[in-house]
Amino acid sequence: MTMMLNDLVDPIIAALGRHMARLQLLAQASLPGMSEHFREESARICENDIQNIVLPGYQAVVDAEPDPAKQVRVLADSQRKLKDLLCPRLPQVGNRPDEGYFSIFVEGSVGAARAAYAKISQETKPLVLSAKSSL
């Protein structure tokens, strides 16, 4: 699993690099009042890029496991392991990853994990509830 997740790190770094390039372009363009909107849009684009990069990896890990309970566990483990692989490669502030870039990664990664979990949920057989069941 770690080897497959490791293959996602370079494309994620490339997505963040495209975001950094867009931010530099905005700084050069000097657009009063609009820069903040465009910075937010660039971050949203980057989050979507990361989600699209990460989702197939998460889905492959989940699909390799037949038991739905274990699928959820490996999905959560994959998300944690990918974070551990990526953090040292992010721009650093002091001894920690830059919060802005880290939060963009987290949003994209969580979006991918939610999509993979939604598929697990859709494929899980429903429980048969009796009249005496209490939820």
Backbone phi and psi for residue 92, each to the nearest 5 degrees, phi listed first = -105, 145
The Cα–Cα gap between 95 and 12 comes to 21
User: Quick check: 37 pLDDT over 90?
Assistant: no
Q: Which residue has the higher pLDDT, 58 or 29?
A: 58
Q: Is 8 helix (H, G, I), strand (E, B) or coil?
A: helix
Predicted TM-score of the model (pTM): 0.86
Domain residue spans in the chain? 2-122
What pLDDT is stored for residue 135 in this prediction?
A: 57
Sign (positive or negative) of CA dihedral 97, 103, 104, 110: positive
Helix axes 2-29, 99-123, angle to 10 degrees: 130
Q: Is 73 helix (H, G, I), strand (E, B) or coil?
A: helix
pLDDT, tens only, 71-119: 999 999 999 999 999 999 998 898 889 999 999 999 999 999 999 999 9
Cα within 13 Å of Cα(112), Cβ side: 30
User: Quick check: 131 pLDDT over 70?
Assistant: no
